Every structure is written in C-alpha cells, then in structure tokens.
Amino acid sequence: MTFRTPLVLALALVVTLVGGSVASAQDAPVVVIDTSMGVITVELNPTAAPITVENFLQYVDDRHYDGTIFHRVIDGFMIQGGEGRRLGKSTRDQIKNEAENGLTNDKYTLAMARTAAVDSATDQFFINVNDNAFLNNGVRDFGYAVFGKVTAGMDVVDAIAVTPVANNVPNTPVVMNSVRRQ
C-alpha cells in the first residue's frame, strides 16, 4: 500500500497539471476570419487583454465584421480592417487601451487600432506583418494593445500585405466574408 499511495499521488499530479494546461488552452478563444483571399485563424489572449478581447468578441458575435474590408494595407508594416462605418454599421463606446499588458507588436500579432487619443479603440484592428516594436507601450506614446496572434493563415496575411494598393487602400477590396468563433 505504501508504494501505491505515492504512485497514485504522482499520477493525480500529472493529470492535474496536464488538465490545467489543456483547460488554459481551451480558455483562449479562437476566431476564424474568412476573407476573399483565404482563411486566417487567430487565438485571443483574454488573460492579458480582457477588455479588448471582450470588445472584439462582441463585434464578432454581432457579426459586425461580416462584409468589412482590410481598408489599410502597408507592406512591411500591417494590414488593418474592421471599420464597419463604411457599411453604415455603428460602433460601441471606445475602450481602455490595454497596451501595458506585456504583449508586444510582433509579426502576426493582432492589435487594436486607435486614433491619437489613448483610449479610443472601437472596432478596428490590425495584424502586424513585421515586428513593430515602435508600437509597443512606452516606445511610441502609450502604444497599441496586442490581444491575440495568428495561428494559421500566415500565408493569407502575407498575401494581403503585398496586395497592390493606392494610398494604402487595396485596389481590389479584401473582404472579410465572415468572422466567427471557432
């Protein structure tokens, strides 16, 4: 019996640790952005950016992004989308900027777009197509809040980034057909 007790405790510990990491992965919402150029899958980080993730998911659940475009594309920098106003969609209140969350604007991360006002983000987001450290908190004013990362479809992001543009607007619209939780 003394041999079995430590073995049972060790197995229980392993199950708890493995189960805990699986639960954490399941807590990270996954969103699929189906675009006219292919599918991009993103994993959100509600632990680091709870306000931003909640805001983004509310827009997703409301189907706000359906039919919107990547309206600002700058190769070597980022692709920006989500502006529903172009389609007559209203936005909710501006949210607090969570740029101090420790996440950085690295290649293939998802961040909130905003005006010059720190807490002005609503529905627009961008995907970094390069490591953009100058957008991080403390480097360039308050910074831009990162709240997720691309986990699949990097090739789609890269293709959108090199789409021919005029004044940073794609010549052929890159449409978000649908944006849904997975």
pLDDT tens-digit profile of 9-35? Answer: 444 444 344 444 444 555 899 999 999
Nearest-angstrom CA–CA distance, 77 and 51: 25
Residues pairing with 172 in the sheet = none
pTM: 0.85
H-type helices in the chain, by residue range? 4-27, 50-61, 154-161
Among 3-17, 41-55, 80-94, 115-129, the least confident range: 3-17
Nearest-angstrom CA–CA distance, 39 and 27: 22
Nearest-angstrom CA–CA distance, 45 and 30: 9
Among 20-29, 31-40, 133-142, the least confident range: 20-29
Instruction: Match domain 28-181 to its CATH number in 1.10.287.3510, 3.40.800.10, 2.40.100.10, 2.40.37.10.
Output: 2.40.100.10
What are the tokens at 163?
């789409």
Nearest-angstrom CA–CA distance, 142 and 53: 19
| CA 9 to each of CA 6, 13, 96, 150: distance values in angstroms, whole numbers, following the listed order | 5, 6, 45, 38
Q: Could you tell me which of 152, 148, 70 has the C-alpha nearest to residue 110?
A: 148
> Which residues are CB-neighbours of 78 under 8 A, at least 6 positions away?
72, 126, 127, 128, 129, 130, 132, 161
What per-residue confidence (pLDDT) applies to 26?
57
- Domain range annotation of the chain: 28-181
Q: What share of the chain in percent tops pLDDT 90?
A: 78
First to last CA, the chain: 46
The alpha carbon of 37 is separated from its chain's Cα centroid by a whole number of angstroms, namely 18
